[in-house]
Chain A
């Protein structure tokens, strides 16, 4: 019964969404205030209905209602509680419902917190958002209904894919969806602004928090996904240039570009049409990502819903929204005249360079991801585009980005002087290069990867420190130290996120350049020496988990006789799903991870054991965390909280353009 109510609630929400996509638009066009304002309660109602629908599906999972097909396919009575909850979104239908839930959540948030927006803009934003929601609701209801009942319910379910039964992956999709869908708000704002025919500083200020939030969620989502791959897939890779990973990286890069260009719109009222275009394309790439994951057109490790029919539906949504928005853009962009004038050397220019690099690197990922498809369709060649291509084609842009970042971040608005901006940075530049050179001479290998990574990392991280220090003005260092805590949070956000980027750059280089690996057959009781550690295989046991059986090794790690850790790598088998998984055992330390996995038993009674030293692995996730944290700092900046009153009076006074 509850399941049926959930289904009805979703259908009702679809009806509300259709109404909300039309009525406020008409109201805004005709200037009928009550038609515009009706969008607000509608957005809340939509959210409430979908939340109820989602709760109903979660309930079916919690009580293991095996008359629901989705529960049968993705759950089992023995599955731990947390994976019963995460199992709701661990499949195509449920994840789509989560997607819809987040769409309505963002829509409702725009209704709740958008009181400072001009009524017509808010009405249009909510209408566009609702149109997107309606499209995805239709997709859910007509092609991917999660509430389908079975006439003959089985006794038990077939369990969730064991790879997905993991805390890291449990929270990876919701964050990713919050990010993907968050970009729909930027899209809605862009389309609403195009319909209004007005983009001003206030618009830049309104759209930026949504973009920031989406970007923060995407950062967390991508980082948790990559962390999961690192510890779960068994050899400590963190990025595979898999189509699905690329599908999340492209919107991330666009969101990063967008949140930078929105600053220019907000502060200087230029780059307007470019920013609008970024907002449209950012969400376009989100949809593209959904399409890639769910159509199964590009094979990947993640594809859980290989169904061409669904692919076609998403492609239609993509074509309709992108086509519509871009047409509107082509008609309206010329009226978005730029205001601010600036010199070639200025913060504005630096941000344009930032946007060029981010957009082109995103394009590289795009063409690399799509090329196998193009080659097969047009040239009849079945080929692969793998990590070697992406590493070669993508890395130069990130290097260039890191090189210009500290300078660009410190250039003044309007008109800058390169020599003056560089003055506090010269010492750092020399220091970074020197440290890179030192590292290069210390390592006898001829890899330049880590030296370059280290130099860039130092340059960006310390550059952010200098940046925020310079913001404290002149005078006594004590007075400056006092002032530094009172700087706007946006300044802290900027420096934190930039430092996070620097740390990530360094960590990627160190991990890729310096990791080492050892594989051997070890007898029980045998001690082997690797990477400065004495590792003893003390036992291999059979262990029963709640819904799996495991072969668990105990390996004691000592260094110079001192006990470091007892590591227990496992090979698990999930009998219900019929799938084996490897569970690496990792000793996390600041400068390195000791990473052990258990292989197969050998003929002579020993076990294959793989050991890795992963230098600075933790720094990678820490860097990502800092980037996200920086976004949160910026998001909590005063000007987004108090923009309310100021924004309203201002925009009311702006003459129609």
Chain B
């Protein structure tokens, strides 16, 4: 029961609390804008860090970029506009989620295509295995029969 209550409490927080920015003084007053800013910054890479989004990073540059994102949003940019603005300034490198433009389409379709190929070959293999000639009526090859004998002796 207490676990259920905790579950509800956790749910309540997840619903009620707005998202907060990384530094207290960066947070925008408008919670809707702020939450949009958080979403955007989670998808932008910190340029000087190894592999962190600007939302997670403590670097000064990341802070500048966070402030820039918020500035754009306050000025009325849509999420796409704000991201486009950042990409214009810092390049495609900042996008943690690669675009689907140009050769990147290979990256995006690679997984489904590979899956279909693998599934297709597996199906063909399974079909063939299913139809492979059985050794004799018992379905056991002589080898398997011998091994069965051996196992029964054990």
Contact = CB atoms under 8 A, between A and B. Distances in A.
A458 to B, nearest CB: 14
B51 A299 contact: yes
Nearest to B132: A341
B115 A388 contact: no
Interface in B104-124: 104, 107-108, 110-111, 114-115, 118-119, 122
B102 A516 contact: no
A384 B45 contact: yes
A352 B130 CA distance: 13
B141 A270 contact: no
A352 B111 contact: no
B56 A235 contact: yes
In the complex, which of the residues B51, B93, B130 has the most CB atoms of chain A within 10 Å of its own CB atom? B51
A96 B52 CA distance: 27
A379 B103 CA distance: 7
B91 A242 contact: no
B6 A445 contact: no
Contact of B94 (A378, A384, A592): A384
Interface stretch (B10-18, B69-77, B78-86): B10-18
Interface in B1-57: 3, 6-15, 17, 19-25, 27, 43, 45, 50-53, 56
A352 B125 contact: yes
B15 A445 contact: yes
A654 B141 CA distance: 13
Contact of A301 (B51, B98, B129): B51
B154 interface: yes
B64 interface: no
Contacts of A514: 10-11, 14
A519 B43 contact: no
* Binding site secondary structure of chain A: mixed
Interface stretch (A16-24, A107-115, A187-195, A356-364): A356-364
B17 A518 contact: yes
Nearest to B10: A615
B153 to A, nearest CB: 10
What are the 8 tightest A-B residue pairs by CB atom distance, in nearest-first order? Answer: A386-B96, A388-B97, A519-B20, A591-B6, A364-B111, A301-B50, A516-B13, A356-B118
Interface string A364-380: 10011001000100110
B148 interface: no
Given A360-B114, A521-B24, A532-B9, 20 more contacts: A300-B51, A341-B133, A341-B139, A360-B118, A371-B107, A375-B104, A383-B98, A385-B98, A389-B98, A442-B11, A443-B14, A444-B15, A514-B11, A514-B14, A516-B10, A516-B14, A517-B19, A519-B23, A608-B24, A613-B10
Given A356-B118, A356-B119, A383 B95 contact: yes
A297 B53 CA distance: 20
Interface of B: 3, 6-15, 17, 19-25, 27, 43, 45, 50-53, 56, 58, 91-98, 102-104, 107-108, 110-111, 114-115, 118-119, 122, 125-127, 129-130, 132-135, 139, 141, 143-144, 146-147, 150, 154
B92 A364 contact: no
Interface in A206-241: 234-235, 237, 240-241
Contacts of B21: 519
Given A519-B20, A521-B24, A383 B104 contact: yes
A63 interface: no
A352 B125 CA distance: 10
Nearest to B15: A444
B41 to A, nearest CB: 12
A591 B111 contact: no
A613 B13 contact: yes
Nearest to B94: A384
Nearest to B3: A591
Contacts of B122: 352-353, 355-356
B98 A384 contact: yes
Interface hub of B25, B43, B98, B122 (most chain A Cβ within 10 A)? B98
A646 B11 contact: no
A457 to B, nearest CB: 14
A344 B126 CA distance: 6
Contacts of B23: 519, 599, 608
B84 to A, nearest CB: 15
Nearest to B99: A383
A386 B97 contact: yes
A299 B50 contact: yes
26 contacts: A237-B56, A299-B50, A338-B129, A341-B133, A341-B135, A342-B129, A364-B114, A383-B92, A383-B93, A383-B95, A384-B94, A384-B96, A385-B96, A386-B96, A444-B15, A445-B14, A515-B14, A516-B13, A516-B17, A531-B17, A590-B3, A591-B7, A602-B24, A602-B25, A653-B146, A654-B143
B36 to A, nearest CB: 16
A151 interface: no
Interface residues of A, number: 77
A650 B98 contact: no
A367 B107 contact: yes
Contacts, number: 174
Interface string A614-657: 01000000000000000000000000000000100010011000
Contact of B118 (A237, A359, A443): A359
Contacts of B97: 386, 388-389, 392
A520 interface: yes
Contacts of A393: 108, 111
A443 B15 CA distance: 7
Nearest to A515: B14
Nearest to A414: B139
A473 interface: no
A389 B135 CA distance: 49
A464 interface: no
Contacts of B15: 443-445
Contacts of A344: 126-127, 130
A394 B106 CA distance: 16
Given A382-B91, A383-B98, A592 B14 contact: no
A387 B96 contact: yes
A127 to B, nearest CB: 29
Contacts of B118: 356, 359-360
A421 B154 CA distance: 30
A6 to B, nearest CB: 33
Nearest to B43: A388
A237 B51 CA distance: 12
A348 interface: yes
A627 to B, nearest CB: 23
Interface in A518-573: 518-521, 530-532
Contact of A378 (B9, B43, B103): B103
Nearest to B143: A339
A349 interface: yes
A384 B98 CA distance: 6
Contacts of A301: 50-51
A386 B17 contact: no
